[in-house]
Amino acid sequence: MFKYIDYFIFNSEVTRNVFEKNLPFPLTGKVVHVTSKDAVKREIRIPAISTKTSLTIGYIGPSADYKGFFDFVKFANNSQSVNRQFKTYGYAPSLNLNGIEECGRFSRDEVRAVYSSLDVLVVPSRWKETFGLIVTEALTNGVRVFASDNVGAGELLPDFYRFESIEDLQNKFRSETLPKIEVVVPTFSDHVQKIETLYGIMIDGKIGPGF
């Protein structure tokens, strides 16, 4: 089936790598990052912050191993200090986690309130997240994001904010500061324009590997 595809549009390098690893023939395509319809800010500037200040660090998602939930719990347990608080959202709060406030599920109307309660979001997925809209959602709400190397949307972040393991993440928090984040998050109209342009070129038969 995939041999009948002339040109692939990947939503991240993570996706491209998975396809290239599993298909036994060369692929022609381009990475076009997806985005959320709620991403209204385009240029994101989040200032550096000292790790000695009070920080609320959060996780959003199910209490599932494949999402890295228990890695986040491990990180929180190994990082307890007087100036750090830990919160989880996205599942029924029933685990009675030591030192972690389980805040439960939330509605779309509560999204801004959730992000306003966080200084840092950790996205520790163990499985390959081809993109992960929660990263752009957090950034557009002014929240610093750390993403595992399995998260495609982590490609938007400076290298400091991407991690290979929980131990790597813990080492980053031993730095004196969390550096500034300056990224351009595509709006939904940006994304649509790129896809329409790409389709137009393909239909005209002018597309090539270097597009």
If you write DSSP's letter for every residue of 30-82 in order, what string do you get? EE-----TT----EEEE--EETTS-EEEEEES-S-GGGTHHHHHHHHHTS--T
Please report, in tens digits, the pLDDT of each residue of the chain (211 residues total). Answer: 999 998 899 999 999 999 999 999 999 999 998 887 776 667 899 999 999 999 999 999 999 999 999 999 999 999 877 689 999 999 998 778 989 999 999 998 999 999 999 999 999 999 999 898 899 999 999 999 999 999 999 999 999 999 999 999 999 999 999 999 999 888 888 888 899 988 888 887 755 544 4
Helices (H) and strands (E) in the chain, counts: 6, 12
Domains of the chain, CATH where assigned: 2-35+187-203 (no CATH), 43-184 (3.40.50.2000)
Do residues 128 and 22 make contact, with C-beta atoms less than 8 angstroms apart?
no
Residue type, 169: L
Do residues 55 and 119 make contact, with C-beta atoms less than 8 angstroms apart?
yes
Of the candidates 118, 124, 172, the one whose C-alpha atom is nearest the C-alpha of residue 151 is: 124
Do residues 201 and 207 make contact, with C-beta atoms less than 8 angstroms apart?
yes
Global pTM value: 0.89
Residues 6+ apart with CB under 8 A from 6: 28, 202
Cα separation, 106 vs 161, whole angstroms:
26
